[in-house]
Amino acid sequence: MKPLTDQFGRTHTYLRVSVTDRCNFRCTYCMPKKGMTWMPRANLLSFEEIQRLVAVFAQAGVTRVRLTGGEPLIRRNIDRLVAAVAQTPGIQDVALTTNAQLLAPLAQSLKDAGLRRINVSFDSLRPERFKSMTRGGSLASVLTGIDAARQAGLAPIKINAVLLRDQNDDEIEDLVRFFSQWSDDTELRFIEYMPFQARWHQGVAAADVQKTLRARWTLLPLRESSGSGPGVGAGPARTWRIAETGLVVGFISPLTEHFCASCNRLRLMADGHLRTCLAHEDTPSLRDLLRGGANQDQLDRAVRAMVLGKPEGHRCEADGGTVFQGVMTSVGG
């Protein structure tokens, strides 16, 4: 079957699947303090519907799936979905992005179900600041979850830190020192703040983070790898190894260094909408096609039409441009 290609010649092999828009955190840069409208539960894709759609994408050449949210671990029996996705013919890699608050008791069952690795959203090492930025999260619980994932063999573990100007940007060196303890199976990634709906915060450019690190350490550039170990599945991250500690650090800079030209990912939202670009939400619902009785060929044609219409890129800049549409928690990151 023909690969899943858009009008600009980009072939798509990576699918992010949001299993819920709900979250047990309410991070300041992700959700407003109050006023969220959640998707009705009846509108969410069932595990069986997700499995069927993943099979459609796999048949079209998708090989990697990442489960996201909201917080995917609040979806009951998430290990069942992991197993179903991992067993789908053509799917070679299943990963999950989590805040790790609920991870500790689930890590081993997720690994046994076929999960290979995790990304953990982690923005501060200071308990009170962590609680404030997440509006209620427990740093101790998250660290316990990360340790459980490590013990279960869910590696590499990628730590995703979103830096906000004058809020947590004074912890860059602290984060490096802390996670350097596990440099053999951990990668620390600094992600530029992406504004949805409005610019509620001021982010920190990847170049500024690199400047801070270079003042203290030596950064050795790494070639992206599709193998095992830190750097696997790096996607848009530009990675370096800190010579003095061995830790791999990555920089994801969607605003200051657009990587749209090489984008190979698609996002299936929890309600079945296929978001072909992180910045835009204007595609029909695959859920409605499924529930309307569409067969495999009809679903394949619908997906291909949506991907063909994928925009060339977003128009959001570090200072100006158009902010991303929607709310991050409903998009799936």
Q: Is there a domain that residue 110 lies in? A: yes
Q: Is there a domain that residue 286 lies in? A: yes
Q: Is there a domain that residue 144 lies in? A: yes
- The answer to whether 113 and 72 have CB atoms below 8 angstroms apart is no
- Give the CB-side neighbour count of residue 271, counting CA atoms within 13 A: 16
CATH of the domain at 325: 3.20.20.70
Which helix or strand (DSSP H or E) is residue 68 part of?
strand 64-68
Q: Is there a domain that residue 275 lies in? A: yes
Q: Is there a domain that residue 228 lies in? A: no
Instruction: With CA atoms as reference, report the closest residue to 56 among 271, 230, 245, 289.
Output: 289
Q: Is there a domain that residue 199 lies in? A: no
Q: Tell me which residue range forms the domain holding 140.
A: 14-157+254-331
C-alpha span between 149 and 186 (Å, rounded): 11
pLDDT score at 259? 66
Q: What is the distance of C-alpha 142 from the center of its chain?
A: 17
* Burial (Cβ within 10 Å: 0-12, 13-18, ≥19) of residue 278: buried
Q: Is there a domain that residue 179 lies in? A: no
Q: Is there a domain that residue 173 lies in? A: no
- The answer to whether 15 and 54 have CB atoms below 8 angstroms apart is yes
- Structure tokens that stand for 68 in this block: 């996201």
C-alpha span between 157 and 36 (Å, rounded): 30
pLDDT score at 283? 73
C-alpha span between 68 and 89 (Å, rounded): 21
Average pLDDT, 10 consecutive residues per value, the chain (333 residues): 93 97 89 82 97 98 97 98 98 98 98 98 98 96 98 97 95 98 98 65 87 98 53 64 98 72 90 85 86 97 94 58 54 61
C-alpha span between 101 and 30 (Å, rounded): 16
Domain count, the chain: 1
* DSSP code per residue over 70-135: S-GGGSTTHHHHHHHHHTSTT--EEEEEE--TT-TTTHHHHHHHT--EEEEE---SSHHHHHHHHT
Which helix or strand (DSSP H or E) is residue 209 part of?
helix 206-214
